[in-house]
Structure 1
Amino acid sequence: MENSKIEFRNVSFRYQEDMPWVLKNVSFTISADEWVAIIGHNGSGKSTIAKLMNGLLFPQEGEIYVNGQKVSRETIWDVREKVGMVFQNPDNQFVGTTVRDDVAFGMENHGMPRELMLERIETSLAAVGMQGYEEQEPHRLSGGQKQRVAIASVLAVSPKYIILDEATAMLDPKGRKEILKTVLEVQEQRNLCLVTITHDLLEVTQADRVMVMNEGEVWLEASPREVFSKQEQLQEIGLDTPFITKLADELKAAGISLTREPLNHQELLEELWTLRSTM
């Protein structure tokens, strides 16, 4: 579909009239078949972007479109069928007394028939590896399990776009890796668009495209490789780079030339192996 995208057109937003602008004249497009990571220092506007996409907030200036439909108070329920959101703290999303109730909640709001709800509860929990937990109380689950249920609750509504707003931030490295693996598997199975707002640099290196926010503006849109090649500029706006990027920079400073910016250990090893074989 030609209109399968999220589009921000000259969007500006502030939380109160006497407060500074959090977003300033922001424009970008996210296609329905890509994974975009949004990064930026605290206060750069990235979480505000997520809430605007989902109709939790509305801009004072500019317009937002989801699949050609303008996001407004009149269209938010249509928009939320297309754009699902998983927050940093899953406890903030739980409303049901059991996992089943919680996954059903969003579908009930959309008035889905009971038969479809029962089917989607089953398939959504299976998709995130939480089948068999239907009668569990959400607050008794581990952090990773809670986040899986939160993702299942979003999947049940069957959105085209899923936004993860720091959704792995409260998990340990193993938990982060598992949740990301789960989300990527679901994305591939269901052909979803994924938007991740994150501080996890390993997560960023795997995205198709990175949008860097700075002071409420889009500072850069590029591939992860191109973004992390700008190590000095990123540090100037308060952002870190992956350990591999730093190591590659040290190697370059020592006179070892690499043909491309490595994003992970494997790519760096391949670069060094190729270099060694030509010596």
Structure 2
Amino acid sequence: MDHSKMEFRNVSFRYQDDMPWVLKNVSFTIHANEWVAIIGHNGSGKSTIAKLMNGLLFPQEGEIYVNGQLVNQETIWDVRKNVGMVFQNPDNQFVGTTVRDDVAFGMENHGMPRKLMIERITESLSAVGMSDYEYHEPHRLSGGQKQRVAIASVLAVSPKYIILDEATAMLDPKGRKEILNTVLDVQDQRNLSLVTITHDLLEVTQADRVMVMNEGEVWLEAGPREVFSRKEQLQKIGLDTPFVTKLAEELQSAGLTLTREPLNHQELLEELWTLRSRM
């Protein structure tokens, strides 16, 4: 039986007994080596999902399985070896006085042997392009560099799943793109599953699959092309669509027929070239 997946089975969660449910009967599966983007307006439950994946919270109803193992108080440390989390604000994740100490911290928590730790520090910093900063103080780094170190710290534990919870939100577009490329390189090298919780629509267009959350429920699960083709419905639940999607819609309403929903500038250009050659 293949256990390499993460599964939510009928999960419901609320922060207190007298508060409304933040998640209501949520079920989904994330497979090995897959990139799933989770989107939804604020309060739709997406960040709560991230914290449940990593055992920072536990559901009142339903079960969560990581590689066949039920997530609960007893299994939490095993689960965290498999599920690494990078948050929006890297400053909250720094504990060491140097970048090196910081990357070592997670491994120390898991009681890894020192020789392995030294190897992993080198490998992880190299994977995120931060080898030259091993002895720097984390608070002196730029936002993008801090996020790279946070990713290296997670990678060092060698998880099977990496969750980025709004991890690029505080960066400018260039920094966002760099961090995303870094993570995608790593995913490629290590066959990781990637879960990104994000507002960045360009990031969403590149994912294998998109999960749209609305009011604590899975509203839609589909490929990015299908998700963004439902512009009007997305807008009704308070979500925007990428600029290219909007432009394509304007062109269609002006009488141009496009064969498919373009996801980026390149695809839109190809559509327009095809149209021109048919004229």
Aligned to 1:71: 71
C-alpha displacement at 1:140, in angstroms?
0.7
After superposition, give the CA deviation of every residue in 1:85-117 in whole Å (9 maximum; x if it has no partner).
000000011111111110000000111000000
Q: Distance in 2 between matches of 1:11 and 1:150?
A: 29
Q: Which amino acid aligns with 2:105?
A: F
Tell me if the contact between 2:4 and 2:31 (Cα under 8 Å) persists in the aligned partners. yes
Q: Distance in 1 between matches of 2:224 and 2:204?
A: 7
Q: Distance in 1 between matches of 2:3 and 2:117?
A: 28
Aligned to 2:94: 94
Aligned to 2:115: 115
C-alpha displacement at 1:135, in angstroms?
1.2
Give secondary structure in 2 for the equivalent of 1:203: helix
Q: After the TM superposition, which segments of 4 or more aligned residues of structure 1 sit over 2 Å from their partners? A: none
C-alpha displacement at 1:3, in angstroms?
1.1
- Identity %, equivalent residues: 87
After superposition, give the CA deviation of every residue in 1:124-149 in whole Å (9 maximum; x if it has no partner).
00000000211111111000000000
Alignment of 1:28-67 (within 5 A): 28-67=28-67
Aligned to 1:24: 24
Q: Distance in 1 between matches of 2:223 and 2:132?
A: 39
Q: Which amino acid aligns with 2:158?
A: S
Q: Does 1:260 align with 2:267?
A: no
Q: Which amino acid aligns with 2:60?
A: Q
Q: Does 1:241 align with 2:241?
A: yes
Tell me if the contact between 2:37 and 2:195 (Cα under 8 Å) persists in the aligned partners. yes
Q: Distance in 2 between matches of 1:29 and 1:187?
A: 18
Give secondary structure in 1 for the equivalent of 2:271: helix
Q: Which amino acid aligns with 2:265?
A: H
Aligned to 2:214: 214
Aligned to 1:184: 184
Give secondary structure in 2 for the equivalent of 1:132: helix
Q: Does 1:165 align with 2:170?
A: no
After superposition, give the CA deviation of every residue in 1:238-265 in whole Å (9 maximum; x if it has no partner).
0000000001111111111100000000
Q: Which amino acid aligns with 2:143?
A: G
Q: Distance in 1 between matches of 2:252 and 2:135?
A: 56
Q: Distance in 2 between matches of 1:199 and 1:254?
A: 29
C-alpha displacement at 1:53, in angstroms?
0.3
Q: Does 1:145 align with 2:137?
A: no
Q: Distance in 2 between matches of 1:147 and 1:233?
A: 34
Q: Distance in 1 between matches of 2:54 and 2:171?
A: 24
Give secondary structure in 1 for the equivalent of 2:132: coil
Tell me if the contact between 2:33 and 2:187 (Cα under 8 Å) persists in the aligned partners. no
Q: Which amino acid aligns with 2:161?
A: Y
Q: Which amino acid aligns with 1:72?
A: N
Q: Which amino acid aligns with 1:58?
A: F
Give secondary structure in 2 for the equivalent of 1:227: helix
Give secondary structure in 2 for the equivalent of 1:255: coil
Give secondary structure in 2 for the equivalent of 1:7: strand
Tell me if the contact between 2:168 and 2:179 (Cα under 8 Å) persists in the aligned partners. yes
Question: Which segments of 5 or more consecutive residues in structure 2 lack a partner in the other structure?
Answer: none
Q: Which amino acid aligns with 2:131?
A: Q
> What is the RMSD computed on CA atoms of the aligned residues?
0.6
Question: Which segments of 5 or more consecutive residues in structure 1 lack a partner in the other structure?
Answer: none
Q: Distance in 1 between matches of 2:65 and 2:272?
A: 46
How many residue pairs get aligned? The number is 279
